Amino acid sequence: MTGRDDVLLGVRNLRTAFQRSDGEPLTAVDGVTFDVRPGQALAIVGESGSGKSITVRSVLRVLPKTARVTSGEAHFGGRDLLTLSEKEMRRIRGREIGMVFQSAMEAMNPTLTLERQLTEHLLWHGLCTKAEARKRAVQALGDVGIPEPEKRIRTYPFQLSGGMRQRAMIAMAMVTRPALLIADEPTTAVDVTVQRQILELLAGLKESGTGIIMITHDLGVARSFCDDAVVMYAGRVVERAPTRELLDEPRHPYTVGLIGSSVEVGGRGLPLAPIPGSPPDLSRRPEGCSFHPRCSRAERPRCHTEQEILSIGPGRQAACWKVTSDA
Ligand SMILES: Nc1ncnc2c1ncn2[C@@H]1O[C@H](COP(=O)(O)OP(=O)(O)OP(=O)(O)O)[C@@H](O)[C@H]1O
C-alpha cells in the first residue's frame, strides 16, 4: 500500500536556462518544486510558453542543445536524476520513467514495425528474453485496445490511424511497467472518443500504482484525471492545490484568469474572458511577481518587489501576497 506521503519524484528548486544567440541567458524554468506520488497524477497547467515542457524535459534530461539545468534536484528512486551520467539516464528513460507525447509520429521510429520497436525496447533494457519480448509486445498492444494485436504488430506506425498510433505509443511507454509516466499533452491531437479511451488507459495505469505527470491545456482533463495540480506562469509555479479545489476555488489571480479564459468555463455556458496582455519576455522578466503587469489586483510596491510561494491551506500554496493576506 502506498500513502500520500510516499514521494516517487521530488523536484526541488529546478532552474533551466537557454543561452540565446545574443548571449543573454533566458531562464525558462525558475525555481520549480513539486512532488509526484505513486498511483497519483499531477497536472501541470499554464499558458503556452510557461515552461511546462521544459520542466519535464529537464527532469528527463532531454533538453534542446542550447538549454542547461542550472540548479535544482530531481529525486527518483533514491537518486538525483540531475547528477546521473547520460548512460545511467538512458537506463531510466523509457524503463522506469515512461514518456507519452502529443504526437506519436515524433516519439516512434517510422522506419520500424511496432514489433521491432517494442521488442527492441524490452531487450535493450534487458527486461526479458527474445521469445518473451514478442509475447509481451503483443500483450501490450492488446492491453491498449489495439484490435488483432498479433496482426497489427507487423505494421509500421504510418499505417495506423492517429488514435491507434497514440495507443501504440502508450503501449510502448507501458510495456516496461514504469513507476512514473510523463505525458505531455497526450490527448491534444486526438478526437474526443479517443481522448476518453486514452484517459481510461492512463487511469488503469494509475490504479496499478504508476505515478503520472500530465501536462495539459485542457482543464477538463486535469479535473477528471489529476489528483493535484501546479499552475505555471513565466517559468514559475504560482499556485498548487488538489485539482478540484484549484479549479473550483482558484486563489492566485493568474489561476483565476486562466480558468476564466478556458474552454472548460465556456463549455459550462459562461462567457470566456481572456487574460489581458501577454506573458513577459523571459529575458526581461518584470521585477517581483511576473504577473503584475497583467493583474487587476497588483499594487506597488510589494507586487513589484516580491513573489514568494506561501501556504494558504492544507496542500495549497500560492505565490501572491494579496492572496495570503486574504486567507
Ligand atoms: N528551443 C528553444 N530555444 C529557445 N527558447 C526556448 C526553446 N524552447 C522553449 N524555449 C523557451 O522556454 C519557454 C518555455 O517553453 P516550454 O516549451 O516549456 O513552454 P510550454 O509551457 O510547454 O508551452 P506549450 O504549452 O506551448 O508547449 C518558452 O517560453 C521559450 O521562451
| Probe target for ligand 1 pocket from 54, 103, 254, with the most ligand atoms within 8 Å of CB | 54
Query: Given pLDDT bands bounded at 50, 70 and 90, which one contains residue 188?
Result: confident
Residue nearest (by alpha carbon) to ligand 1 atom 19: 49
| Probe target for ligand 1 pocket from 53, 215, 218, 232, with the most ligand atoms within 8 Å of CB | 53
Residue 282: CB within 6 Å of ligand 1?
Answer: yes
Query: Given pLDDT bands bounded at 50, 70 and 90, which one contains residue 291?
Result: very high
Q: What is the pTM of this model?
A: 0.92
Record the cell numbers describing residue 209, joined without a space.
Answer: 500504482
Q: For all residues of the chain together, what is the average pLDDT?
A: 90
Q: How far is the CA of 255 from the centre of ligand 1 (A)?
A: 20
Q: Which residue has the higher pLDDT, 124 or 229?
A: 229
Q: Which residue has the higher pLDDT, 96 or 272?
A: 96
Residue nearest (by alpha carbon) to ligand 1 atom 26: 48
Query: What backbone phi and psi angles, to 5 degrees, belong to 45?
Result: -120, 165
**Is the ipTM reported for this complex over the cut 0.90?**
yes
